[in-house]
Chains A and B, each alone.
Chain A
Amino acid sequence: MTDGTKDTPRMRPARLTRRGLVKGVAATAGAAAVAGLLPGTMRYVQSQSAEPIKIGFQVHRTGIGAVYGRWYERVTNAAVRLINQGGGIAGRQIQIIAEDDGTDPKRGAEVVAKFATQHKVDFVFGTLFSHVVVGSAPAAGEHKMPYFVVSEGYHVASGKMNRYVFQPGITDVRAQVGSMAPWVTKNLGKKVTMIFPDYAFGHDHRDYFSAALAKQGGTISALIPIPATETSFTKYFARVPADTEVLYHVMVGPGVLTFVKEMGEHFGSRRPQVFGFIDSLEGVDLASPGLEFLEGSYFWEAMPRYAGKDQTAYDRFYRQAVGVNDSGAAANDPKDVSTYSHMFGCWETLYVIKAAVEKSGYKSPTARDKAALVEAVEAMTDFQESNRHPQGSKKFNGKLHQAYGHQFISKVGGKRLDVVHRTAIEDGLYEPAGDYTKMSL
């Protein structure tokens, strides 16, 4: 079963026509509603007779996730605008209710509870940082609230969340990392040294990539953990063995620019192949000072930041709707680089919610309707690449509540990234660890 959508790039003029039609038939009051002069509830009266579908948007507005939250908001608004212009979900307009979780797990749980009891939303979506997902998920289970996270963490697929938690819009990090190994060993080298921050995030990369590398016949030359508070990195590069063919790095935080600069100073032109995760430089201009050394190196991307020769019509459509230019930056502020490898998940998740509501016949936040919705999502198996899924086709594992998609490997050149490889979905699949469908609703 698919998500039931088959929109093609040709959809664009159709959408514009439809919007034109809405404007055309609007009466005097309707025109005011379109212009946004009437109160929110009045607009629904004008355009739709049904009550809106209320979606709680758990957003990192403050705290360390704020940069991501800013872009998650833009993508969410763009997707909601499109869906509403196209008739909404099952004929009902989407109403987004945003609450800031402060990028904090305790506040996250409070926000989910508030969505359920105070705002009485139909669903909650949008959480990114893993610790907030993990902190909020129990509240979602307690309130039987369908909770769609956009985190890329391995938490959902680990089987340790609950029946109401889904991640249908973005591949988890375990699959992302694992899918890199075949191409890296075939094209860059089999002897890999990994430099990673010495805590769970880095350890996940270490463990998932080491295992995937071994399957491809590669070997780890050295594992070099770096303390999280470190700000000077030269001494760690000295520990990279001479026989290293590939240097795999996943540094994050404010020290990244210094890390890359010192890596360049250490290795100069005599360096191994360098492969990294764009998480290090998400939202950062590749033309930033200190990043010159990255020229010729490779990065994982979930969705190509720069529009290249293989750009799909779906990507073009998505970029334009969100307001992102061909360099992955804000169209209205070209040096404001987006979080392009993560934020598409908000867009795709909203379309999954739409498909699930329409398929399940969901009407209101009753236990019965929510159960039907959960089962409808669990029954999904494929999402076809489309305007609704511009990042690419995905397989959805209903037992794990997790989507798996293609990943990209891009090469830095001329201070931009160009895709050199697109992985197969199967490259990242792993043995499933749980089955949410066996849990009670």
Chain B
Amino acid sequence: MRWLIPALAVGAFASPALAHTSERGIVMLLPTGYYMAGGALAVAASFLVLMFLPQSLVRTWAARRDMAVDRVATPTTAASAVACGFLVFLLLAGWIGNTDPLRNPLPLTVWTLWWIGLTLAQAVLGDVWAVLNPWRAPYRMLRWLLARFAGMTDPPWAYPASAGYWPAVAGFLGFAWFELVDLAPDNPSRLALVTAAYTGVTLIAMALFGERAWLERGECFSVFFGLVARLSPLAWTAPDPTHPGRWRLRLDFPGAALIRFEPLPASGVLFVLLTLATVSFDGLNKTFWWLGLGGINPLEFPGRSAVMTRNSVGLLMAWATLAALYGLTVALGARLARRGPALANDLGAFALSILPISLGYHAAHYLTVLLVNGQYAVLAFNDPLGQGWNLFGLAGQYPKVSFLSDFHTVAVIWAAQAACIVLGHIVAVLIAHLITIDRCRDARAAVVSQLPLAAVMVAYTWFGLWLLATPIAG
């Protein structure tokens, strides 16, 4: 508790508290109230339109179109080996490179290119992560060594069905905590340690339970990226046994792949809700409203160390609140449609419709970080190990960030962010509708059962836009 003493002493010397006016200051001048109302209405309207469209038409839309484009299957082991080499290089940069997190490629790659960028790439291009996963190649090598020298051809344990997605839930919760609560998640050597430790745990778990089982259920990022990839309009299907080595590209309605997914178990539902809770709380915890609840002055935000407990509890509360809201909403829908016995199944199915919302929040919330830190990332690779290299001739360059202080570009960026939120919810409403008509033959019951979830989605649209408009610290 020693750190509390300087923290308390701050009151006597608080000047200057240079909380600056930022892009949020400009956003506060925009007519965001209209955007919020308009966004919520758009989602409500899209729901109503779907209700009146013939189900056959909606089904036709959602049907998969075969583009008949073949591509040579990527040799996953080789691709993974390259990715693994890159990971090792990044870890090295984390340990010996520049100690400044905005000049070191490790934090910029992990937090910006990978967490923000790859998530968006998955939603557009499909499951790129399956190819770029850096853990497959070392695992396969380990497997080969175990078979060759220890005679262990198979993993010793079968992944227990009862474990569901729980390891992924635990992993993602730890990740979210590190991102939102930890004191220095950007610190290169600290992040290198955490990344190396996670790599170790992943390889051990893969060795124990097998590559496929662990990556599909236990490893939180593969689970997350795999789910997000199902929002992509591009669906790469596995090779035909008669034409090994060739994958087939099909065109999907964005998100339609989700309705061909088996309903999730309880752990999977909680996983999806945790992804949304994390990005929502990331926005919420900096708002004047949230800080005001704890009596924290947003203009002299005391720093993460003063809010670690609050934010740990807040993250869990956001998750619990979303889970309760979702559970009650789906239960109400089932009750209205008199589908009581199918509730557990409904919960597992409709959770998939949350994913586009989560992705919409992700895109909106991290857009400006991507635009600024993406530039820092490029500059960091000019001298990745902090040795004074000038690989791309970018030494002495600084990123351009004025688009965050210009009224017109801020207005455009805000509109793009709002569009991400609204679009995410509209796709969610559509997917929920497709799931419903798949499961509910009675047309009237189908409409009624969707009402509660649609209402929550409309409200969550408004909340998402409010998060983008309300004043925040920093």
A interface vs B, CB < 8 Å?
A: 35-40, 43, 59, 61-68, 70, 73-74, 77, 97-100, 102-107, 109-110, 119, 128-138, 151-155, 158, 160, 173, 197, 199-201, 204-205, 228-229, 231, 252-258, 261, 279-285, 288-290, 323, 329-330, 332-337, 342
B195 at the interface (CB under 8 A from A): no
Q: Is B183 an interface residue (CB 8 A)?
A: yes
Residue of A nearest to B14 (CB): A200
A273 to chain B, nearest CB (A): 23
| Chain B nearest CB, measured from A143 CB (Å) | 15
Asked whether A261 lies within 8 Å of B29 as measured between CB atoms, the reply is yes
Q: Which of chain B's residues have a CB closer than 8 A to the CB of A59?
A: 100
- Please give the distance in Å from A292's CB to the nearest CB on chain B: 12
> Of the candidates A153, A158, A329, A335, which one forms a contact with B16 in the assembled complex, judged by CB atoms under 8 Å apart?
A153
**In the complex, A337→B23 CA distance in Å?**
13
Q: Decide if A61 touches B101 in the complex (CB within 8 Å).
A: yes
Quote the shortest CB–CB distance from A7 to chain B (angstroms). 23
Interface residue range, chain B: 35 or more
Tell me the smallest distance from the CB of A209 to a CB of chain B, in Å.
12
Q: Which 9 A-B pairs have CB atoms at the shortest separation, nearest pair first?
A: A104-B303, A200-B14, A106-B305, A335-B402, A64-B474, A98-B100, A135-B6, A336-B402, A131-B10
Q: By the criterion CB–CB under 8 Å, are A257 and B28 in contact?
A: yes
The residue from B99, B298, B305, B386 contacting A229, defined by CB atoms under 8 A apart? B298
CB distance A100 to B100 under 8 Å? yes
Known contacts A67-B22, A100-B184; A253 and B299 CB within 8 A of each other: yes
Residues of A within 8 A of B157 (CB): none
Verify B407–A200 contact, CB threshold 8 A: no
| CB<8 Å pairs between A and B, sample of 23 | A36-B390, A37-B389, A39-B389, A62-B186, A100-B101, A131-B6, A131-B10, A131-B303, A133-B13, A153-B15, A155-B13, A158-B13, A199-B14, A200-B14, A200-B15, A229-B291, A229-B298, A253-B298, A254-B22, A254-B25, A255-B28, A281-B21, A323-B398
Query: How far in angstroms is the closest Cβ of chain A from B406?
Result: 5
| A236 CA to B400 CA, complexed, in Å | 37
Determine whether the beta carbon of A200 is less than 8 Å from that of B186.
Answer: no
A107 and B183 contacting across the interface, CB-CB below 8 Å? yes
A252-B17, A256-B21 given; A132·B471 CB < 8 A: no
B237 interfacial by beta-carbon distance below 8 Å: no
**In the complex the two chains form, what is the Cα distance from A252 to B18 in whole Å?**
7
Question: In the complex, how many angstroms separate the beta carbon of A71 from the nearest chain B beta carbon?
Answer: 10
**B302-A105 in contact (CB<8A):** yes
Q: Is the interface of B mostly helix, strand, loop or mixed?
A: loop
Bound state CA distance, A336 and B300, in angstroms? 24
Q: Are B20 and A284 in contact (CB under 8 A)?
A: yes
Minimum Cβ distance to chain A for residue B17 (Å): 4
A67-B22, A229-B292, A252-B20 as given contacts; A105 in contact with B303, CB under 8 Å = yes
Q: Is B388 an interface residue (CB 8 A)?
A: yes
Asked if residues B388 and A43 are in contact (CB atoms below 8 Å), the reply is yes
The answer to whether B178 has its CB under 8 Å from any CB of chain A is no
B-chain residues with CB within 8 Å of residue A106 when the two chains form the complex: 3, 6-7, 183, 303, 305
B299 adjacent to A252 (CB under 8 Å): yes
Check A131 against B300 for contact (C-beta < 8 Å): yes
Q: Please tell me which one of the listed residues B22, B299, B301 contacts residue A63 in the complex, with CB atoms under 8 A apart.
A: B301
Q: Are B297 and A199 in contact (CB under 8 A)?
A: yes
- Nearest-neighbor residue (CB-CB) of A130 within chain B: B13
**In the assembly, what is the distance between CA of A64 and CA of B407, in Å?**
21
Q: Which residues of chain A are within 8 angstroms of B208 by Cβ–Cβ distance? A: none
B183 in contact with A336 (CB, 8 Å): no
- Chain B, residues 284-317, CB within 8 Å of chain A (1/0): the string is 0000100110000111111111100000000000
Task: Give the residues in chain A near B388, CB-CB below 8 Å.
Answer: 36, 38-40, 43
The one of A35, A205, A257 in contact with B21, judged by C-beta atoms closer than 8 angstroms, is A257
Most chain A CB neighbours (cut-off 10 Å) among B306, B387, B400: B387
- Residue of B20, B299, B474 near A283 (CB, 8 A) is B20
Answer yes or no: B152 CB below 8 A from chain A CBs.
no
Contact of B299 among A38, A199, A333 (CB under 8 A): A199
Q: How far is the CA of A65 from the CA of B407 in the complex (A)?
A: 22
Name B395's closest neighbour in chain A (CB-CB).
A36
Given A130-B13, A255-B28: A98 touches B98 (CB 8 Å cut-off): yes
- 0/1 string, B360-392, CB within 8 A of A gives 1: 000000000000000000000000001111100
Interface assignment of B433: CB less than 8 Å from any CB of chain A: no
Q: Are B18 and A107 in contact (CB under 8 A)?
A: no
**CB-CB under 8 A for A97 and B400, given A253-B471, A289-B407:** no
Note all chain B residues with C-beta closer than 8 A to A290.
29
B187 at the interface (CB under 8 A from A): yes
CA separation between A154 and B11, bound complex, in Å? 12
Which chain B residue lies CB-closest to A204? B15
Contacting pair B400 A201 (CB below 8 A)? no
Asked if B459 lies at the interface with its beta carbon under 8 angstroms from chain A, I say: no
Chain A residues with CB under 8 A of B474 = 63-64, 66, 103
**Which B residue's beta carbon lies closest to that of A43?**
B388
* Complex interface: chain A residues within 8 A of B26 (CB): 257, 288-289
Q: How far is the CA of A385 from the CA of B71 in the complex (A)?
A: 68
Q: Are A336 and B400 in contact (CB under 8 A)?
A: yes
Partner of A134, one of B6, B21, B292, B298: B6
Q: Is the CB of A61 within 8 A of B186?
A: yes
CA distance A53 to B18 in the complex (A): 31
A106 to B389, CA, bound (A): 33
Q: Which residues of chain B (1-55) have a CB below 8 Å from chain A?
A: 3, 6-7, 9-22, 24-26, 28-29
Contact of A104 among B102, B299, B304 (CB under 8 A): B304
Residues of A with C-beta under 8 A to B395: 36
Contact of A254 among B10, B12, B21, B397 (CB under 8 A): B21
A383 → B minimal CB distance (Å) = 22
Are B99 and A288 closer than 8 Å at their CB atoms? no
Which of B184, B397, B471 has the most chain A CB atoms inside 10 A of its CB?
Answer: B184
| Partner pick for B18 among A62, A129, A200, A289, CB 8 A cutoff | A129
Q: A105-B7, A257-B26 are in contact. Are A231 and B183 (CB under 8 A)?
A: no
Residue B401, interface by CB 8 Å: yes
Complex Cα–Cα for A74 and B406 (A): 21
Closest to B301 in A: A64
Does the CB pair B13–A98 fall under 8 Å?
A: no
Residues of A within 8 A of B230 (CB): none
Closest to A289 in B: B407
CB distance from A402 to the nearest CB of B (A): 13
CA distance A99 to B299 in the complex (A): 24
Is there an interface contact between B98 and A255, defined as CB atoms closer than 8 Å?
Answer: no
A102-B184 contact, Cβ under 8 Å, with A59-B100, A205-B15: yes
Known contacts A131-B13, A134-B13; 20 further A-B pairs (Cβ under 8 A): A39-B389, A64-B19, A74-B398, A102-B184, A104-B305, A105-B3, A106-B6, A130-B10, A153-B13, A200-B15, A200-B300, A229-B298, A231-B471, A253-B299, A256-B25, A258-B28, A333-B398, A333-B401, A336-B400, A342-B18
Residue B103 CB within 8 A of the other chain: yes
**Are A258 and B16 within 8 A (Cβ)?**
no
Residues from chain B with a CB closer than 8 A to the CB of A283 are 20, 405
Q: How far is the CB of A129 from chain B (nearest CB, A)?
A: 7
With A105-B10, A106-B303: A336-B401 Cβ-Cβ less than 8 Å: yes
Q: Chain A residues with Cβ under 8 A from B264's Cβ?
A: none
Determine whether the beta carbon of B15 is less than 8 Å from that of A102: no
Enumerate chain A residues within 8 angstroms of B403, measured Cβ to Cβ.
Answer: 335
Shortest CB–CB separation between residue B208 and chain A, in angstroms?
36
In the bound complex, how far is the Cα of B10 from the Cα of A160, in angstroms? 12
Considering only CB atoms, which chain B residue lies closest to A337 in the complex?
A: B405
- What chain A residues lie within 8 Å of B318 (beta carbons)? none
User: Residue among A253, A330, A335 with the most chain B CB within 10 A?
Assistant: A253
Convert B122-146 into 0s and 1s, putting 1 for each residue whose CB lies closer than 8 angstroms to a CB of A.
Answer: 0000000000000000000000000
Residues B18 and A282 in contact, CB atoms below 8 Å apart: yes
Closest B residue to A156 using CB positions: B13
* Chain A positions within 8 Å of B14 at CB level: 130-131, 199-201, 204
Q: Which residues of A contact B229 (CB under 8 A)?
A: none
Q: B206 on the interface (CB 8 Å rule)?
A: no
Q: Which residue of A lies closest to B398 (CB)?
A: A74
